[in-house]
Amino acid sequence: KNEVEQSPQNLTAQEGEFITINCSYSVGISALHWLQQHPGGGIVSLFMLSSGKKKHGRLIATINIQEKHSSLHITASHPRDSAVYICAVGGGSATNKLIFGTGTLLAVQP
Amino acid sequence: KAGVTQTPRYLIKTRGQQVTLSCSPISGHRSVSWYQQTPGQGLQFLFEYFSETQRNKGNFPGRFSGRQFSNSRSEMNVSTLELGDSALYLCASSLEGTQDTQYFGPGTRLTVL
């Protein structure tokens, strides 16, 4: 079983829909990261969180430490949100090492 | 500020050769991490450097090595290339470490023939 599990693996949505991507992990963590990767490879860090909730524009990330679960929400989705969304966890207090989920491929259709 | 840069962007090598990839972090960042991305294994941690010291290493064979210079620039080297080493190699930099936000470079696409 992978240490970081994401669901769904693939997601197709219509423009304007509310989208949720889930991440569950089985290891102790110091922080959880949500990353976005567009075709061509570039990865952008969206959120880093260790508790509660963060919001940036139309994106919201939440984490429940007790349940070892995080969600990434996209409100009013747009075709430009189409990308792979990756959940990653950092487990150590003296390291930047990340353990990655397998990613969620999101396609938002106009 | 300029972002993380990686050179070269694309590389084609043959089995048995060796390769060196370079990563220049964002100015002021002292931590550099390297990751390998393949369709089969996804993203995997290779190693991490902070202040010229390897702070952590992933589960890769000894053919994979790296170093960091005093200006925080980092290189990784893969010797005796195998077909399975074909991948996108990404580096990421952060200010200090210990779970800072990481800023990723565009990656080096390595193809081994």
Q: Which pLDDT belongs to residue B96?
A: 75
Give the pLDDT band of residue A6 (cuts 50, 70, 90): very high
CB burial of residue B73 (10 Å; 0-12, 13-18, 19+): middle
* Least Cα separation, residue A44 to chain B (angstroms): 7
Q: Does A84 touch chain B (CB under 8 A)?
A: no
SS3 B22: strand
Is there a contact between A23 and A65 (Cβ–Cβ < 8 Å)?
no
8-state DSSP, A76 = S
Query: First CA to last CA across chain A, in angstroms?
Result: 36
> pLDDT tens digits, residue range A64-81?
999 999 999 999 999 999
Q: Does A99 touch chain B (CB under 8 A)?
A: yes
Look-up of token digits 């089995």: B15
Does pLDDT of A1 surpass 80? no
A107: tokens are: 């396609």
Does pLDDT of A82 surpass 80? yes
Could you tell me which of A19, A23, A22 has the C-alpha nearest to residue A79? A19
Which contacts (CB < 8 Å, 24+ apart) does range B54-61 have?
A: B55/A94, B55/A95, B55/A96, B55/B31, B55/B97, B56/A92, B56/A95, B56/A96, B56/A97, B58/A97, B60/B36
Count CB pairs under 8 A between chains A and B.
72
Tally Cβ neighbours within 10 Å of residue A100: 22
> 10-residue block means of pLDDT along chain B (113 residues)?
91 97 95 94 94 92 96 96 96 81 94 97
Distances (CA, A) of A49 to A30, A31, B49: 9, 6, 23
Query: First CA to last CA across chain B, in angstroms?
Result: 37
Cβ-defined contact of B58 to A97 (cutoff 8 Å): yes
> pLDDT tens digits, residue range B89-107?
999 999 876 667 899 999 9
